[in-house]
Structure 1
Amino acid sequence: MSDANDGGPSTPDTPAVERVEGPGIAVRGDDVDTDQILPARFLKVLTFEGLGEFAFFDQRFEEVETDGTVEERETDHPFNDPAHRDASVLVVGSNFGCGSSREHAPQALQRWGIDAVVGESFAEIFAGNCLALGVPTVTLDGDAVEALQSFVEADPDADVVVDVGEETVSYDGRTVDATVDDAHQHALTEGQWDTTAQLAAVPERITETANDLPYVESTR
């Protein structure tokens, strides 16, 4: 366990996230909000299990009426493309994850298979919810995002390497400078992103704090 002075305890069950490597998938457009990422009607689940299949659901499916019968059909959304089914690096535009603060949105993305998100900018709460899952949110300038999106669309099997510590994104023989929030970078690379695990690792400190609260009955 690390000393409290270095930012908090790490735990054996919380791995450091220093590098994510895998095929990419692009979702174009700015201001993609959390309702687009995961529509509100899917928030009623008791657990997060199975949320991946509902990621971008209303963009991926449309209702079509034929001879009085309404059918649900797939659109050409990239999350429907079999060529991108193994993608783990999502490449997006600016202000991605805006709107409501629902933690279900990054949960759905991660359970679909996304391990890192690269974009021009992110809504702050969305980025924080990603951090709680160990999913880095990494920013590039607009031209670099456009180039990366075009690349992953053209070559869905090629790997994209997101280096959290070095703050770079590499693909197709090139490396571009990226930005990772300082606090997020520290938490990810030091294995301190799972705050629940950190609390579980120090039960004696939780008890000590609880005993000092005037509105909690002491267990001493």
Structure 2
Amino acid sequence: MDSTQPIVTISGTAIAMDGDDIDTDRIIPARHLKSLTFDALGKFVFEGDRENAKAAGQVHPFDAPEHSGASVLVAGENFGCGSSREHAPQALYRWGVRAIAAVTFGEIFRGNSATIGLPCVLLTPKAAAESRAAIAANPVAEVTVDLEAKRLRVDGRSWPVEINESLRRRFVSGSWDSLSTLAEGTQAAADLSRRLPYLKGWQAA
């Protein structure tokens, strides 16, 4: 994750996930929350769902060979709801997902995603259904999330997406990582504290 890089368009193949209310417990099972780093979480994305699909003789979208290397995820309503674990967007990012389009998102999930440079854009229910159908019909089609034009493009078709304008500008300008922005201002804050008369005698951290 390079917080100095603008995020304007995200292109690649896509995974279409049917179903609503896909929560963070399903995205990354609780047993993996004890990991000391996020680095290895990608291989555990939807681990329980994938195991259940395999046991039923089915192939989960994240195990389908045609979706290997996909960078866009298109989902339904209330994606990322449930507990506020930051591991969920981290796991998706480590797997390779670089943008998510859905009808709605869990608010904390969307905020945690923005922090790591993973844009979450909104589709109408009709657009979400149509775009998922287009991806299912041609799994190797190029899919693009365009934050400049605010469009989702799939195999020659296009739908409008919505995203908070302030956040969109931060992605496009490359200033989306608020933690790095704060860290960059550490010296300026220390210099200012030394000049403030009511902080005289305090030691700046």
Does residue 31 of structure 2 align to residue 41 of structure 1?
A: yes
Deviation at 1:192, TM superposition (A): 1.1
Q: Which residue in 1 is equivalent to 2:174?
A: 191
Percent identity reads 40
CA contact under 8 A between 1:74 and 1:80: conserved in structure 2?
Answer: no
Gaps of 5+ in 1: 1-11, 65-71
Structure with greater proportional strand content: 1
CA contact under 8 A between 2:135 and 2:154: conserved in structure 1?
Answer: no
> Does the C-alpha gap of structure 1 residues 193 and 74 become closer, same or farther in structure 2, counting only changes over 3 Å?
farther
> Does the C-alpha gap of structure 1 residues 143 and 63 become closer, same or farther in structure 2, counting only changes over 3 Å?
closer
**Which of 89, 94, 98 matches 2:72?**
89
Deviation at 1:191, TM superposition (A): 0.9
Moved over 4 A (4+): 72-75, 208-214
Q: Which residue in 2 is equivalent to 1:80?
A: 63
- TM-score normalised to structure 1 length: 0.83
Deviations 1:50-72 (A, max 9, x none): 100000010001399xxxxxxx7
Structure with greater proportional helix content: 2
Does residue 22 of structure 2 align to residue 32 of structure 1?
A: yes
CA contact under 8 A between 2:78 and 2:103: conserved in structure 1?
Answer: yes
CA contact under 8 A between 1:132 and 1:194: conserved in structure 2?
Answer: yes
Q: How does 1:26-175 map to 2 (within 5 A)?
A: 26-62=16-52, 75-175=58-158
> Does the C-alpha gap of structure 1 residues 74 and 54 become closer, same or farther in structure 2, counting only changes over 3 Å?
farther
- Report SS of the residue matched to 1:86: coil
Deviations 1:14-52 (A, max 9, x none): 111111111010111111110010011100000001100
The residue type paired with residue 51 of structure 2 is: F
> Does the C-alpha gap of structure 1 residues 177 and 58 become closer, same or farther in structure 2, counting only changes over 3 Å?
same
Q: Which residue in 2 is equivalent to 1:3?
A: none
**What is the count of residue pairs matched by the alignment?**
201
